[in-house]
Homo-oligomer: A and B are copies of this chain.
């Protein structure tokens, strides 16, 4: 019986490192990236094409992208907040960009100083830009942030999330992702919203991004898996958050996510033991003052674990 494949995208180099005060040297980012690839990660969001004065942590994104593009088979992803970022990302040759569009108007205005509808207009411009750049094959994903609620606005209307997902696809985005930016989601809500968005855009809802702020990230992953989602973001050591969303600390730890998926029999290609080692030898060593999260690194892999999800030797 062939195993179902689940894709894990490491976002720690972007969502993780942008949310902490420490500016990690480019060389450390390269070492992290090397380690992630060696552990089997097939996709890495390596940085963000934003003005360096806003996020100095991301100023070396072009160099990190260039290094990532030397890795055979790796999907190199970058976040872009606007058309200017897209020009840079397309020129740098990334395979995929993620354009964050907040479903919360309050969060959207605070985060990118645009309304969600203005962000959808930007999607259209970026799609047109790609069409105008000969040979550009970069995929465009719209990440719908605060899809499950917002620390500023509170409730986010599910119909608004569905509307934005549809509008993003109609504007020419290749895929959409749902992001629980502030760790408000619960599994019942995940199933309801994922199905509602699938009803509108089908398989173009490609991915989910969960934060573990309130401990429910892996349960939310399970809920989305049950709806057929086969791509999830994670950050090594559970780094991450959003500078505009107070208390929104902690992406789901990639090592925990990959452990759960592998243990369940999914094929992720990820060697969890190598991730745990990378976490301590490179990540924790580079960030001695940052709190890291996650569980599997403490107790280690079960005696019964058979690494079902690893690549065949």
Contacts and interface: CB of A to CB of B under 8 A. Distances in A.
Interface of A: 149-151, 154-155, 182-184, 186-189, 212-216, 218-219, 221-223, 226, 247, 249, 253, 256, 259-260, 263-265, 294-296, 298-300, 302-304
Top 5 A-B residue pairs of the complex, sorted by shortest distance between their CB atoms: A215-B295, A186-B263, A188-B264, A149-B304, A184-B302
Contacts of A263: 186, 188-189, 216
A173 to B, nearest CB: 27
B300 A186 contact: no
Given A149-B304, A183-B299, A187-B260, A215 B214 contact: no
A259 B214 contact: yes
Contacts of A299: 183, 213-214, 247, 249
A303 B214 contact: no
Nearest to A266: B188
A216 to B, nearest CB: 6
Given A149-B304, A216-B218, A219-B222, 9 more contacts: A149-B303, A151-B303, A183-B302, A184-B302, A186-B263, A187-B260, A188-B263, A222-B222, A222-B223
Contacts of A182: 302
A260 B295 contact: no
Contacts of A155: 303-304
A217 B187 CA distance: 14
Nearest to A256: B215
A265 B304 contact: no
B186 A264 contact: yes
Contacts of A150: 303
A260 B183 contact: no
Contacts of A253: 215
A263 B213 CA distance: 14
A222 to B, nearest CB: 5
Given A219-B219, A303-B154, A295 B149 contact: no
Contacts of A300: 247
B264 A214 contact: no
Contacts of A183: 299, 302
